[in-house]
Amino acid sequence: MKLLLLSLFLLPLAAGQQPEPKPEPDYSDYSKRVAWDLHSLKRADQWNREMAALLEKKDTPEGLAELRLRFDGWAKAWGKVYPPMFRLQRSDRFILWLDRLKQVVSENLADFSYWSEMNFYADRTYAEFDEEFDGGFNPEPDAMVLAAAATGRTTPVNVASLKLGRLPRKVDWVAAGKVPAVRRQEELDCWAHAAAVVIESAWAIRNNKKASTTVKAARVSVQQLTGSQRVVAKHPAPPCLADCTGPAASCAGTRSMKYAFDISYQMGSVPERTYPYKDCAPQRCQRGLVSKVPSARRIRPPRAPGSRSIPASTNVTALIAAVARAPVAFAACASNEAFRDYAGGVLAAPKVCNCQLDHVMAIVGYNTKAPVPYWLVQNSRGPSWGAAGRIKIRMDGAGPGMCNMYLMPPEALL
Ligand SMILES: *[C@@H]1O[C@H](CO)[C@@H](O)[C@H](O)[C@H]1NC(C)=O
């Protein structure tokens, strides 16, 4: 309704009732993505103040026209096209974009430890975004109850109280070259993406190798790990275990990464190039593709089978110890605005980041010595989301953890 009203309001502009054609806008500031990249702008805050001032004037024709220019620049920078047949028209997208802008600017001007940006998703409805990315984790009912009970009760870890002993105070598996390149999920198979990070990293660490760092060369096939719901429905006895994991872990989500770890252990993971990611298209487990790679050259988790659960909600040191060994997969609440717009810094938004567990990612490092101690997390929303595809999440003490990330015990291989 709001959309409709605002669109009507914009109609005169769209219909070209401005008699004077505006001079060609100067896109030089906006045509590059970096102009929308707030990583370096947060401190200066110039952009945020400028946008806040513009938003104040959005009810005036000049203010609105200026904002439209900014929108055009943003759309250009992100390669957006709005074909006329699309469900939402360009003017609708502009309205959504204005809403995001307001939110992002107010988040950035508040004194948070993280900052937000107008990313690729800034013109989408929340439902559109959510549909694509969240919901790939279906928690056990127990975890839901825990989540409800835990509401708002997460606080920063007291590092001094942790018994770290000889554990490193800081680990960064990305910098060490042990983490594969950030991928982009196309279905609700975040769990398979996170599992692939964990499997490949564990292999690289154990064998003193570098992980694949470009998507093409990415070693572990996610498709092989992702069960196809539709095929499974047709074949009550799954034709094979992952394309291959079966109904418990499919492109519609899962409850545990152990299915992926098991499959990788049983068959051995083959490279993505051999067994490409197919957008979760219904297909049987392609044993033919798997057998192209000699068994000895497939990647297998060193431990078998299943995964090792880490009691992070009662023992944060146990999670630190696990990540010090190798990256770890975990479930979190990610369908919220803080997560959606995140651009950099350490995410700390206990109120908005307290939904149910709906997304799986991999912890690929931590830093207990940073001003705000954090977990370094690799997401599967592509490298243009967040900080080069990754996010730092505040390291909290025992309890549900930031974004409820300790609720389901994180799962490790090593
Ligand atoms: C917590 O985890 C650490 C590291 O694994 C372990 O040494 C310690 O005994 C655990 N503490 C408790 C109370 O279980």
Per-residue pLDDT reduced to its tens digit, 160-197: 999 999 999 999 999 999 999 998 887 677 888 898 99
Most ligand 1 atoms within 8 A of CB, residue of 162, 317, 320, 328 to mutate: 317
Give the per-residue pLDDT at 51.
87
One-letter amino acid at 279 equals D
Instruction: Write out the two tokens for 386.
Output: 């967040």
80-89, 126-135, 327-336, 383-392: the lowest-pLDDT one: 126-135
| Sole residue written with tokens 């006329």 | 84
Give the per-residue pLDDT at 283.
59
- 3-state SS of 209-256 is CCCCCCCCCCCCCHHHHCECHHHHHHCCCCCCCCCCCCCCEECCEECC
User: If residue 343 lies in a helix (H) or strand (E), which one and from where to where?
Assistant: strand 342-347
Please say whether the beta carbons of 256 and 306 come within 8 A. no
What's the chain's average pLDDT? Answer: 77
* Rounded-to-integer distance, Cα 236 and Cα 89, Å: 43
- Encode pLDDT of 369-392 as tens digits: 998 999 999 999 888 888 889 999
Q: What is the distance in A from the centroid of ligand 1 to the CA of 146?
A: 22
> What average pLDDT does the segment 347-373 reach?
91
Give the per-residue pLDDT at 304.
64
207-216, 349-358, 404-413: the lowest-pLDDT one: 207-216
Domain annotation for the chain: domains and CATH numbers:
2-124 (no CATH), 141-412 (3.90.70.10)
**DSSP states along 136-197:** -B---HHHHHHHHHHTT---B--GGGS--TTS-SEEETTTTT-SPPP-B-SSS-HHHHHHHH
Question: Residue 223, Cα to own-chain centre: how many angstroms?
Answer: 18
User: If residue 25 lies in a helix (H) or strand (E), which one and from where to where?
Assistant: none
Please say whether the beta carbons of 170 and 366 come within 8 A. yes
Q: What is the distance in A from the centroid of ligand 1 to the CA of 376?
A: 21
Instruction: Write out the two tokens for 399.
Output: 């309890």
Q: Which atom of ligand 1 is nearest to the CA of 320?
A: 4
Please say whether the beta carbons of 319 and 328 come within 8 A. yes
With a CB cutoff of 8 Å and minimum separation 6, the contacts of 128 are none
Q: Hey, which of 36-40, 96-100, 317-321, 381-385 has the most confident mean pLDDT? A: 317-321
Q: What is the distance in A from the centroid of ligand 1 to the CA of 315?
A: 6
Name which of 173, 170, 178 is nearest 364 in CA terms. Answer: 173
Give the per-residue pLDDT at 83.
76
Q: What is the distance in A from the centroid of ligand 1 to the CA of 331?
A: 21
Q: Hey, which of 34-38, 150-154, 255-259, 336-340 has the most confident mean pLDDT? A: 336-340
- Encode pLDDT of 94-103 as tens digits: 999 999 999 8
